[in-house]
Structure 1
Amino acid sequence: MSPKAVNVRVLTMDSELEFAIQPNTTGKQLFDQVVKTIALREIWFFGLQYTDSKDFPCWLKLNKKVLGQDIKKNSPQTLTFKFRARFFPEEVSEELIQEITQKLFFLQVKESILTEEIYCPPETCVLLASYAMQAKHGDFNDENHRPGSLVNERLLPKRVMEQFQLSPEEWEKRVVNWWKEHRGMLKEEAMLEYLKIAQDLEMYGVNYFDIRNKKGTELYLGVDALGLNIYDKQDRLTPKIGFPWSEIRNISFNDKKFVIKPMERKSPDFIFYAPRLRINRRILSLCMGNHELYMRRRKADSIEVQQMKAQAQEEKMARLQERERIQAEIERRKQAEQEREAMRRKVDDLERSAAEARRGEYYFNVSVMGSIILKFETERGLISQLNNNEN
């Protein structure tokens, strides 16, 4: 009797996938199924996230069996995972190659900004919302996007909406004013422009962990693409201390104790304590992944990446050519419509002239006929008078 399959639901940022796995299916096998289904090749940024039995978010270990990991079962028959970006690029325009990769990052970062996981100033929120509308709807159109039509759209974080005494319609107007400036921009370009702005936000791509120093002071540890940072508990925007990857010699942990050894051997080690051993394991795993990508960026591109970039460039050129063709067709049709309109007006003018000519000819004929009748009547009267005289 074959082992009973287990249903798995995987939620990406824009779709829901379902698979059936066996008891011996590994995390890598499931991950490979997902990326193959969505045609994603830049797999190094992503992972499968789940909630463990203690309600903590965790990343699925690829080298272990799926069912051997502490996954909380929301349903007896189905396991649920989120397919999310785990690591973030230093420069989105250089590192995110595939359109699907850009789209998944765009949707995830947008969601993080709207839910205020990433702090964003109000002015920047409005600008980002305008790019989000261009990415979703394309060019602004007065007929399709009348005032009030975007009120139900998730345009801005709730904090921004409540911070100023502006109605939803007034916020919409501000977003639309920027949106109009993006006319002609492809949806894919709008997503990338969104990310290029978002990547400069202080909390972009940072994973925060609650820690304590040796004195017991509560702090945050932030792990991102460039290194490790230590933050005050009240301020997650400005780090107190920074450890770039290039300046870290070693990181390690023992139980709840975590040690960062600087490259400069004379510098003291930085020691902190996490609430639980499993937190330190997550921190170390995240550090290893980010450091690996940091080193990878500073080497020549692999053959695979070179091929992907070449293919992406070809696809971009094809899109540009298609856009130019469509634009040329639009211009051709517009010109043809203008010519038809000019011809129609010319025909109307000719018909009016002909009608006026016919009316003029009618009046002329009536006038001539009247003159002839009058002359005839006059002559007839004269003849009658002569006849009377003769009698």
Structure 2
Amino acid sequence: MYKALFHIPQVLNKYKCTSSENKFLLLLGYVIEAADIKLVILGWYCRLCVLMMPLKFRLRKTRNYNVLSRNVFVLSVVLIDKTTLECTLSSDSSGLDCLHNVCQRLGLQQPEFFGLRYMSKRPYPKLRWVELERPLKRQLDKYAQSPALTLAVMYYIHDVGLLQDDVTRSQYFLQVKYDVLEGRVRASFDQAVLLASYSLQAEFGDHQRERHTPEYLKDFKVFPAQVIKETEVSTLLEAVVWQYSSLKGLGQALAETYYILEAQRLSGYGQETFMARDEKGSEVYLGASLLGLGVNSASGDSQTFYK
């Protein structure tokens, strides 16, 4: 035992043990080993702890789920109004379970018109729909860039009377509004002004001359980018203020309905576009909608429509 203790100062210098904790562990290891040959393994373990302390371990990155337990995880869902909520699900939950969770919390009683999308790892298409009947986590692990979903209208309608629930109608209106603003539904100057007036009536109620001036409304996004490029913003604002003031007395729910009805008349309403190639190998765009299937050349020079 005493012979082993003579080696302690040399070992402390060899392993550069400066902290009191490290010195204590190393000393304890030698004392245990010297006291009883049967405790050699324990002594070596103490010394190993000292040697491992300076090392830094890097763990492999995993999916960015907020994991509550082995079978429960939390993911984010971006709503149509761009706000976010979190859903707590089990690893066996289907996409439909998640959709019903979101709709229940929104008070949305007609989930059959909606779906969930995610950003795909693949270059095209970047946005993919969740297969509602399949386990959600498996789909996201295999195909998604990140464990995040977006709520969106999946099935567009031509009969606005099918939207019997106020929350469903409002969410549907928001989706159609963003379709217009982001250019998926194409509008002329007059159509854009009319839609903008319905949007303002739905958001603010009746026009107030002192408040809803062109200067005030210029900070609200109510016009498609393409229309803004083609027309002076001041001209658009003056036109929409006049149109908006003419809607006095129109209820906000009815303004949403009129917006949807007007958008249904426009090109691109309810259309989902996919890239493809024709028989010559040229790139074309397929537009699937309620009216049928449209085939557009990549240059936009030709269009064929199939009902």
What is the match of residue 369 of structure 1? none
- Report if the CA contact (8 A) 2:292-2:305 is conserved: no
Higher Rg of the two aligned structures: 1
TM-score (norm 1): 0.56
In structure 2, the CA distance between the partners of 1:231 and 1:2, relative to structure 1 (3 Å rule), is: closer
- Report if the CA contact (8 A) 1:148-1:169 is conserved: no
1:270-281 mapped onto 2 (5 Å cutoff): none
Give the aligned residue type for 1:240. Answer: T
Give the aligned residue type for 2:269. Answer: Y
1:236-255 mapped onto 2 (5 Å cutoff): 239-242=303-306, 244=307
Structure 1 residue 4: Cα displacement: 4.8
Q: Provide the rounded CA distance (Å) in 2 between the counterparts of 1:91 and 1:199.
A: 9
Q: Provide the rounded CA distance (Å) in 2 between the counterparts of 1:60 and 1:34.
A: 14
Q: Provide the rounded CA distance (Å) in 2 between the counterparts of 1:40 and 1:119.
A: 28
Q: Provide the rounded CA distance (Å) in 1 between the counterparts of 2:167 and 2:303.
A: 33
What is the match of residue 127 of structure 2? 57
Give the aligned residue type for 1:171. Answer: L
Give the aligned residue type for 1:80. Answer: A
Structure 1 residue 12: Cα displacement: 1.4
- Report if the CA contact (8 A) 1:232-1:240 is conserved: no
Q: Deviations over 1:153-172 (max 9, x none)?
A: 112122212213x2x33321
1:234 pairs with 2:299: yes
Q: What SS does structure 2 have at the residue aligned with 1:240?
A: strand
Q: Provide the rounded CA distance (Å) in 2 between the counterparts of 1:87 and 1:11.
A: 18
What is the match of residue 286 of structure 2? 221
What is the match of residue 68 of structure 1? 138
Give the aligned residue type for 2:119. Answer: T
- Report if the CA contact (8 A) 1:42-1:98 is conserved: yes
In structure 2, the CA distance between the partners of 1:223 and 1:144, relative to structure 1 (3 Å rule), is: same
What is the match of residue 6 of structure 1? 73
Give the counterpart of 1:126 among 193, 196, 199: 193
1:180 pairs with 2:250: no
Q: Provide the rounded CA distance (Å) in 2 between the counterparts of 1:170 and 1:205.
A: 29
Q: What SS does structure 2 have at the residue aligned with 1:148?
A: helix
Q: Deviations over 1:228-266 (max 9, x none)?
A: 232333339x84131x3xxxxxxxxxxxxxxxxxxxxxx
Identity of aligned residues (%): 26
Q: Provide the rounded CA distance (Å) in 2 between the counterparts of 1:140 and 1:234.
A: 42
TM-score (norm 2): 0.71
Structure 1 residue 117: Cα displacement: 2.0
Q: Provide the rounded CA distance (Å) in 2 between the counterparts of 1:38 and 1:86.
A: 17
Greater helix share, structure number: 1
Q: Provide the rounded CA distance (Å) in 2 between the counterparts of 1:134 and 1:116.
A: 21
Q: Deviations over 1:323-346 (max 9, x none)?
A: xxxxxxxxxxxxxxxxxxxxxxxx
Give the aligned residue type for 2:86. Answer: E
For this pair of structures, how many residues does the alignment match? 235
Q: Deviations over 1:259-314 (max 9, x none)?
A: xxxxxxxxxxxxxxxxxxxxxxxxxxxxxxxxxxxxxxxxxxxxxxxxxxxxxxxx
Give the aligned residue type for 2:296. Answer: Y
Q: Provide the rounded CA distance (Å) in 2 between the counterparts of 1:159 and 1:202.
A: 14
What is the match of residue 343 of structure 1? none
Q: Provide the rounded CA distance (Å) in 1 between the counterparts of 2:263 and 2:199.
A: 12
Uncovered stretches (5+) of structure 1, i.e. residues with no partner: 245-391
